[in-house]
Amino acid sequence: MSETVAIFTEKKELYAIPLIVSKHGYRTHIVNTLKDFKGAAQRGKAQAVILDLDTGLDEHLELLERIIREKDPAISVIVIARETSLKALRRAMQLGIRFFLTRPFPERELIEALEKSFFQYHLERENETLLEKLNRKVYQLNLLNETAKMLNSSLKLDDILLKLMQNAGELVNAEAWTLFMYNKEKNVLVFKYVVGEASDKLTGVELPWGTGIVGWAAANRQSILVKDTGKDERFFKKIDKKTKFTTKSVICVPIVYRDDLLGVVEVINKQDGSAFDEEDLNILEILVEDAAISIKNTYLLEETYTLTLLDHLTRLYNLRKLNELFLEFQEEKRPFSLLFMDLDNFKSVNDNYGHQYGSTTLIEFAELLKKIIDKGEYGFRYGGDEFILLLPGKGIEEARAYADRIHECLRTYKFINKDGIAVTLSVSIGISRFPSLSPSGQEVLFQADRAMYSVKRKGKNGTALFHKNL
């Protein structure tokens, strides 16, 4: 592309300067007023300026200063005048004028000045680009460093995922980005966090295994850069149709820890309209690698903590979890009903068949309870053959209904039922409620226990609601 020279002249007729410049293949833009000059000497419109004066420089210093202020700083000014004083020349040099020609001058002098001006212009532009890239790289490295600190300092999964999402798209200047979490039970990718247009339409949506570019990245545990989705047969167009969004360029990086897939980060379209490149891919991979370690560590911590809340035999909750819930429900003043259960004649199982079959019986009863309770309700092994159900928000009659279901289930159920052994057991159940019958969780437990023992005294295999006369 040929360079353009803005020629400022107060002359009304064109003279030799524009002809010389054009003869050497450069475009010219002649202006006669500062208003016109301001538009002609801005970024990208000209690469050099010639101030063509028909008289001396001394009487045009103010004009020169105005031109210097109005032009793009990367553009050099070549001054052509009849004459100049030492004082005017010194002032011009202070203003950054490197090229000053006095008439008459050889044509080659003007062309050499122009060539140097063009070289200086393009060098300035390259330096700007390099500086921008350097600043961008420093910013990315600082952001990566801050993100890594945050990921490693937080023990909460949601905090880690949110920080990952906040910085993923910003690091590569993306237009939109998504964090998919892998649901191992369903074998699907789930839109966990979505930033960009129509995010409300996608959050929580499940993507079948292997679907689209993101599905390929998940299935292969491998990052992928697609510069033009229109040329990639793996691209899944239905999401764009659903959101009315146009996906042009994509990077997908799976979140993997020791071949264990946790999710996928996907960024879509660079904001400047260009395609993603390998540098963007590398930046995202560094971010996701740190995140994968933090996410896995959080999972392990949560699993470890959960194990401390479970009974080792039945995998129901234990007393530690029960006490945590008591405190939580009391602080929030949330009502609940509690069933305290004791298997009738369980000792005979251990005495007749041994503790191994006794343990099998307890495990089977726990499984029955798990099938009876709904999501958001809790089953506990209190100790030995004693069990508890905690039913948030349930009233007394609803609690009785749960007890009836347990009795009905045990009426025909055969425990163990192998090796020629089949055991039928009943259960004694006591019920109390917070806060209508008790001011505290521990008191509810005590009351339900007393109600259960009242059933034992009356012959077992029944249900009793706590009252003061027990």
What is the CATH classification number for the domain harbouring 397?
A: 3.30.70.270
Is 22 inside any structural domain?
A: yes
Say yes or no: 220 and 118 in one domain. Answer: no
Collect all residues with Cβ–Cβ distance below 8 Å to 399 and sequence separation of at least 6: 337, 338, 339, 391, 431, 433
**Which of 278, 305, 332 lies at the terminal end of a domain, its last residue?**
305
Please count the structural domains in the chain. 3
pLDDT value, residue 369: 96
Are 292 and 356 found together in one domain? no
Domain hosting 274: range is 154-305
Are residue 225 and residue 292 in the same domain, yes or no? yes
Instruction: Tell me, yes or no, whether 176 and 287 share the same domain.
Output: yes
Helix (H, G, I), strand (E, B) or coil at 389: strand
What is the C-alpha to C-alpha distance for residues 399 and 238, in angstroms, rounded to an integer? 47
pLDDT for position 98: 86
* Domain identity same for 33 and 97: yes
- The position carrying tokens 């789930």 is 190
Kindly state whether residues 49 and 186 are assigned to the same domain.
Answer: no
Confirm whether 144 is domain-assigned: no
- Asked if 404 and 292 sit in the same domain, the reply is no
If asked whether residues 162 and 92 sit together in one domain, one would say no
CATH of the domain at 210: 3.30.450.40
In angstroms, the Cα distances linking 76 to 31, 144, 191 are 17, 40, 54
Give pLDDT tens digits for 293-323: 666 666 555 566 666 788 889 999 999 999 9
Stated length of the chain: 470
Residues 337 and 290 grouped into a single domain: no
Q: From the first residue on, what is the mean pLDDT of each consecutive set of 10 residues in the chain (470 residues)?
A: 80 74 87 80 81 86 86 86 86 86 88 87 79 62 59 58 68 82 89 76 86 92 92 87 86 84 87 89 79 63 68 91 93 95 95 92 96 94 95 95 96 91 95 92 93 94 88
DSSP H or E segment with residue 126: helix 107-153
- In the chain, the amino acid numbered 363 is I
Residues 419 and 289 in one domain: no
Q: What is the per-residue pLDDT for 402?
A: 96
CATH number for the domain that contains residue 57: 3.40.50.2300
Q: What pLDDT does 279 receive?
A: 85
Structure tokens at 170: 């910003």
Nearest to 426 by CA among 468, 389, 461: 461
Neighbour order of strands in the sheet with 386-392: 378-383, 386-392, 336-343, 427-434, 463-465
Residue 145 placed within a domain: no
Distance CA 24, CA 440 (A): 96
Q: What are phi and psi of 161, to 5 degrees?
A: -65, -40
311 neighbors 376 (Cβ within 8 angstroms) = no
pLDDT of residue 121: 84
CA distance 404 to 182: 40
